[in-house]
Amino acid sequence: MMPQLVSVRVRNGRGRRIRVWIPVLPVLLILSPVLLLVLVTAAITCLVWRINPLHALHRSWRLLCALSGTRFEIEQNHTSVLVNIR
Amino acid sequence: MSEQRRQILQMLADGKVSADEAEQLIAALERDQPSFSSSDAEPAQKPRPKYLRVVVDSAENFGGDGPGKVNVRVPLQLLRAGVRLASLIPPQALTKANEEMAKSGVPFDLTQLKPEQLEELIEHLAEMTVDVDQPDAKVQVFCD
């Protein structure tokens, strides 16, 4: 299953916090025209390199789906960044 | 003692099966459950790990910027998907990547990375734990 939500939390040195929740599917839908262009470019690149575009698409999709559960949390002094993919 | 083994012994005691048949049944049971040894005190098979975790905890003033923490959780499924995607890379590109990695001091042969060997690698990763303990920092790499 593809990731549904990406949450990003940033805290800067002055203690200001920013937390953003990004719903993946709506963002993909908004970006669909750009995505279509990217897919066409990727397919042409695959054909140039003699890679099956369908295989590449399938495996890229699996990679995207496998991102669920990824979490990066880095904290240094009073600054921190958290990226959580669910 | 497992319930199935007990049942086989009960059948032997009741005379429903011969000693040879009971032995064959127990052998078949052990084949089906290779993780259980003859000693019943052993715990059940450990669940397969799902995540690779990297935890770094550095003390105050480590690196001059105050205390730091890193907590990374990467699904092992991502590793599988990544290797499968990398297997599509043409051999000439892999050769170039190998050369560049060797130049940077990482003599790693990407052509030897096969998706078929990945399951074995992940199974062994489950038993891997790296613990680095220093007075000013602690690093842990493990699977859970």
Res. A25 pLDDT band, cuts 50 70 90 = very high
Those residues with Cβ within 8 angstroms of residue A66's Cβ, 6 or more apart along the chain or in another chain:
B75, B77, B78, B80, B81, B82
- The arithmetic mean of pLDDT across residues A27-54, rounded, is 93
pLDDT in tens, B20-64: 777 777 777 776 665 544 445 455 566 778 899 999 998 865 555
Condensed to tens digits (0 to 9), the pLDDT of residues B105-120 reads 888 888 887 777 777 7
CA-atom Rg of chain A in angstroms: 17
How many contiguous H segments (helices) and E segments (strands) does chain B have?
Answer: 5, 4
User: Which contiguous run of DSSP H or E holds residue B51?
Assistant: strand B51-58
Question: What sign does the dihedral B1-B4-B5-B9 (CA atoms) show?
Answer: positive
For A74, the closest chain B residue by CA position comes to B70
Band of residue A67 on the pLDDT scale cut at 50, 70, 90 = very high
ipTM, two decimals = 0.83
Mean pLDDT across B71-90:
88
**Contact residues, A window 24-53, toward B, CB-based 8 Å cutoff:** 49-52
Closest CA to A31 of A42, A19, A39: A39
pLDDT (0 to 100) of residue A66 = 93
**CB-based contact A76 B50, cutoff 8 Å:** no
Query: What pTM did the predictor assign?
Result: 0.68
Displacement of CA A7 from its chain's centroid (Å): 11
- From B68, B85, B93, residue closest to A76, measured CB to CB: B68
